[in-house]
Structure 1
């Protein structure tokens, strides 16, 4: 992981003291609400329905065990004993007192963390594949490029006031696990015919009020040109992006207006002034940052050791957990473990201070002191020896981390919704729980197989409902909470936007709608066919007829 130098530490200390004084001035009336708003947003502080919400950056989802322990301490000391992982691989605290936020920033700075650019019209946290560096199907480890982008974008003087917020994702594997096609810029690592590694550059993706799949504007960009090409894209957006209407200010609207070809042409024109300039990456630059992500001291192990084989044979519950909650590793004898934060009755993505401390301990005891946060709102131990999986499973069960539902219907991606967010039209947490309770039969859940379910409480789409195989959107009807269902969305290499199946549902009717959707899927699926494949084959009409039938 990247380590801060003295310049980094000094910068953070100065930023903390600046905000401490700004907060003091606001609290004594020297700054108005309008004057304080941009200052707090620059430090990741929102005002939500009941209290301030404080968002902390977790660059590309990487946490050291000491950092997770510090987040646990902050949860206990300044909040209500828990935090919430977001789909941007960040953490949010929902109950901090405004006057204590500078103290939280001080605590974060001590462990090389901050909240810079977690809000505002700037380049937000760059995200990547949660299994970067350990995935068996990886072309290259993209984390070095994520760090390069982080340093380039942080406090960039030219891009501090963009027309709207801006999000970048990097995927280094054959299968895109970073949702690059629905980001303002997506960078998917590819190899050209000469075997050289570079980036396929995708621009103009995004969800929210106007969901769009991004367009490829360059099939192959050599890695050395990464920053100059990003500069060119951001300059075009900064110059031509709309500032008169925030609902039409995202880069996706500009790409749509200019067409992908027209936008690409403007980028190429701008790039002509930047290409091979001072920001061109040298081999030694890339090697420098790659050095922060070198492999740990892996043991030489055989895959599937006797300890694992025996435990799988004697304990079906353990076997079920291994099948769903562990991921193939590039190193023989290791696997990555997904600690599920989707236990029924707990808001998706929430984690207690006690769970944070426990996970940090396991990262030190069984791994190399590192953890990852996924955009599916789960926590990952990336380097666990297969012989230790049974012990880790038992510990995870004792701490509420071992629900064997990763990738299944109840592994719901979900924003905090109306329980916390002032923008939400409807609550999401109780409806997500109702769906989880409806499908709490593990045998049935496993039989249904892979199904992505995404839930957003409003059109801002923080729960990425558009790209869920099943999506739920909270809507307001005359002051009442209703829920719209979409089918057919997907992420990955074949990203698609789901389509609304019909009129919205009252809260109490959502679980029944899900039951009917699943029943039809079971009736219609072919052998080995996943839910999304059945939806694509038979279309939406049969699901619509079943869901809205008067009786069944």
Structure 2
């Protein structure tokens, strides 16, 4: 992973010192909350329903074991003993005291972490495929390009006050595990007819009040032009994006109202002006950045192991975990392991300080000292030897991190909702836990197969409900929390926005409604290989509406 230079370290130290002074002035009353707001947002600090919330960046989802231990230390010393992994590969702390935040940032800086630009109208944390560098379907490792974007975008003076927040995702595989189609800019590494790799450029995706799938404005962009083309897009947005209406300020609205072809023409015209004198990436730039992401020295191992295979045949619980939470690795003799943060005992994405410390130890013991965070609020150990899976499983079980449900019905994405968020209009965590408890049966989960449920507590869609197979949106209707359901969404390479199925359900009805939808699927699928999304797309919404509303 990328190692900070002396300049990087100095930048963080200066930033922490600067913010410490701003916090002291706020505590003394020398800055009003409105004056302080822009300073705290640039340092990842939100004012939530009950307390401040600090969002810490995990660039492209990659963590070292030492960084994870620092996150555990922060949770234990400055919060209530846990952290919350979000859908954007960040971690959030919900209860820090304002006067402690500079000390938290100082502790983060010591392990090359920060909260810079995790909020505010700027370029946010660049996200990527959590399996980057180890996936079998990878065309090229996207992490070096993510790091170049991170360095280019941090403190970029021209894009520090955009019309609205701005999110970039990069994927390097044939499967889209980075949700590139629902980002302001999504970059997918592809090959052209001559075998050269470059970027397919998606612009104008996003969720929230007006969900949209991004448009491909350039099917192939040579890699050396990545930064100049991003700059051209952002310049057009910065000049023409709405600043008079927060609900129409995102680039997706500009692309929609301008028209895809007109927007493309404006970007191309701007790019022609700047690409020759801009940040043209040279071969030596790629060589320099890629050295931070070289493959480790993998052992030469067999893809067969007697102990593993014996346990697979004799222990049904272990076999279930392997079937659901283990992915093939590009290197023979290794596997990718998903750590499920989705149980009935904790809110989705939450992890305790003790669990974080234990995960760091497991990463050192079994996975070359690295951990990844995912868009579905889980964690990954990416380099586990096949022969170590039985021992790792036993330790994960003891930590309640071995629920066999990855990409299945109880692997629910949920925002914090009205339990924490000042913007929320309904609770989301209790609904996710109620659904998990209802369907917490392995045989049923296994029979359902690949199906996603996402829950948001307000129209801002932090739970990504629009792109779930079954999406749930909590809203407040005349003082009552009710839940609207959408069906047919996807955040993968077949990205789609779910369709509202009908009138909303009350809190005590929504779990039964989910059960009815799943029953219609099971009754109508053509064979066990037909996923929920395939069945829904084949049948349309009529049979689901009939079951739900009669």
TM-score interval, smaller chain: over 0.9
The 5 A counterparts of 1:17-416 are 17-416=17-416
Q: Is the contact between residue 225 and residue 276 of structure 1 (CA under 8 Å) also seen in structure 2?
A: no
C-alpha deviation, 1:304, in angstroms = 2.7
CA distance in 2, matches of 1:174, 1:440: 32
Matched residue, 1:539 = 540
C-alpha deviation, 1:396, in angstroms = 0.4
C-alpha deviation, 1:176, in angstroms = 1.1
C-alpha deviation, 1:493, in angstroms = 1.1
C-alpha deviation, 1:101, in angstroms = 0.4
1:392-436 deviations in Å (ceiling 9; x for gaps)? 111000001000010110000110000000100100000101101
- Aligned: 1:515 with 2:515: yes
C-alpha deviation, 1:222, in angstroms = 0.4
CA distance in 2, matches of 1:500, 1:430: 22
CA distance in 2, matches of 1:327, 1:121: 37
CA distance in 2, matches of 1:93, 1:37: 18
C-alpha deviation, 1:118, in angstroms = 0.2
CA distance in 1, matches of 2:378, 2:127: 14
The 5 A counterparts of 1:457-472 are 457-472=457-472
Tell me the secondary structure at the aligned position of residue 508 of structure 1. Answer: coil
Q: Is the contact between residue 456 and residue 472 of structure 1 (CA under 8 Å) also seen in structure 2?
A: yes
C-alpha deviation, 1:479, in angstroms = 1.5
Q: Is the contact between residue 43 and residue 115 of structure 1 (CA under 8 Å) also seen in structure 2?
A: yes
1:179-233 deviations in Å (ceiling 9; x for gaps)? 1011000001110000000000000000000000000000000000000000100
C-alpha deviation, 1:267, in angstroms = 0.4
C-alpha deviation, 1:276, in angstroms = 3.0
C-alpha deviation, 1:345, in angstroms = 2.7
Q: Is the contact between residue 54 and residue 96 of structure 1 (CA under 8 Å) also seen in structure 2?
A: yes
CA distance in 2, matches of 1:381, 1:493: 24
Q: Is the contact between residue 236 and residue 266 of structure 1 (CA under 8 Å) also seen in structure 2?
A: yes
1:344-378 deviations in Å (ceiling 9; x for gaps)? 13100000001101110011011211100001000
CA distance in 2, matches of 1:490, 1:366: 33
CA distance in 2, matches of 1:367, 1:441: 30
Tell me the secondary structure at the aligned position of residue 273 of structure 2. Answer: coil
1:479-528 deviations in Å (ceiling 9; x for gaps)? 21110010000121110000011110110111110111111111100112
Q: Is the contact between residue 228 and residue 277 of structure 1 (CA under 8 Å) also seen in structure 2?
A: no
**What TM-score comes out, normalization by structure 2 length?**
0.99
Q: Structure 1 residue runs of 4+, over 6 Å off?
A: none
CA distance in 2, matches of 1:115, 1:59: 10
CA distance in 2, matches of 1:342, 1:109: 30
**What TM-score comes out, normalization by structure 1 length?**
0.99
CA distance in 1, matches of 2:369, 2:8: 22
CA distance in 1, matches of 2:91, 2:50: 18
CA distance in 2, matches of 1:273, 1:304: 56
Q: Could you say what the CA RMSD is over the residues aligned between the two structures, in angstroms?
A: 0.7
Unaligned runs of 5+ in 2: none
CA distance in 1, matches of 2:177, 2:441: 28
1:53-72 deviations in Å (ceiling 9; x for gaps)? 00001000000000000000
1:33-69 deviations in Å (ceiling 9; x for gaps)? 1100101111100111111000001000000000000
CA distance in 1, matches of 2:319, 2:392: 13
Matched residue, 1:483 = 483
1:292-313 deviations in Å (ceiling 9; x for gaps)? 0111110001113222211101
1:134-182 deviations in Å (ceiling 9; x for gaps)? 0000000000000000000000001000000000000100111111011
CA distance in 2, matches of 1:523, 1:373: 35
C-alpha deviation, 1:5, in angstroms = 1.1
Tell me the secondary structure at the aligned position of residue 485 of structure 1. Answer: strand
1:68-127 deviations in Å (ceiling 9; x for gaps)? 000000001000000000001000000001110001011000110000000000000010
Tell me the secondary structure at the aligned position of residue 476 of structure 1. Answer: strand
CA distance in 2, matches of 1:333, 1:386: 5
C-alpha deviation, 1:441, in angstroms = 1.3
CA distance in 1, matches of 2:270, 2:36: 36
CA distance in 1, matches of 2:505, 2:184: 32
The total of aligned residue pairs comes to 549
